[in-house]
Each structure stands twice: as C-alpha cells, then as structure tokens.
Amino acid sequence: HVQLVESGGGSAQAGGSLTLSCTVSGDIESRHCMGWFRQVPGKEREGVALISSPGGGGPLYEDSVRDRYRLTRDNRKNTLTLRIDNLKPEDTGTYYCATRGGFVCGPSIAHTGRMEYWGQGTQVTVS
C-alpha cells in the first residue's frame, strides 16, 4: 500500500509564493516518477510538474508554468516539493501529488504515462 500526503495549500495573493509538499510512504518502488497535477472545476486534471528518479533527467514542466514553478525531490525522505513563485489567479486549483514506478517519467509533460497512486489533493486559491 502506498500513501501520499500533500500539504502547503491555501489562499495567497497574486505575486506571492507558495510551497506544496508531498510525502510518500509505503511499499514504493525504489525508482519512481513523481509529480504534481492540477485540476480546476470543469477541466481535466493536468500535469504541471513531474520529476524522474535520480539520473532519469531533469524536471518536466507544463509550458505556462516553467518560469515560475520549481520542483525538487528528496529521495531519502521520499518527499516532493513544488515551489510556485509570482502566483497568478490561473494557478488556482486542486493540486494532487502522484507517483508511479519507473526510472523516467517520460519525454515530456504530455507523455508521462498513467500514474498509479494519488494523494487526496490540496487546494490553492490565488486572488
């Protein structure tokens, strides 16, 4: 059983910063892709930032956020951190942490395969 727990969401002002954290526990594969997905009402959940296992390549970002989002992972602690700078109203949504087995996430944010495990989500509201 794999569990993902997100934290760090909330309300923030445009122009500010926010950090989301995700802790993974349980029977996770030693090599796994991890990432953050965002969902807004009426739209499909989309990947915004993913990162492969160490050595599998740098983070992948959705084009509209790559200049403001920074994704890091700590493999010793099995944590994933997403920092969002210069917040914009379009960053509003529910952010889900997810993971799946595998050395690399994929060639691009749009081709990362199906994630196996998901957190419950954390709400981010930017005004």
Structure-token pair, residue 90? 């379009």
Structure-token pair, residue 84? 């969002």
C-alpha–C-alpha distance, residues 21 and 41, integer Å: 22
pLDDT of amino acid 55: 85
Closest CA to 96 of 33, 35, 41: 35
C-alpha–C-alpha distance, residues 20 and 18, integer Å: 7
pLDDT of amino acid 105: 92
Question: How do residues 67-99 score in pLDDT, each as one tens digit?
Answer: 999 999 998 998 999 999 999 999 999 999 999
**Pairwise pLDDT comparison (6 vs 1), residue with the higher score:** 6
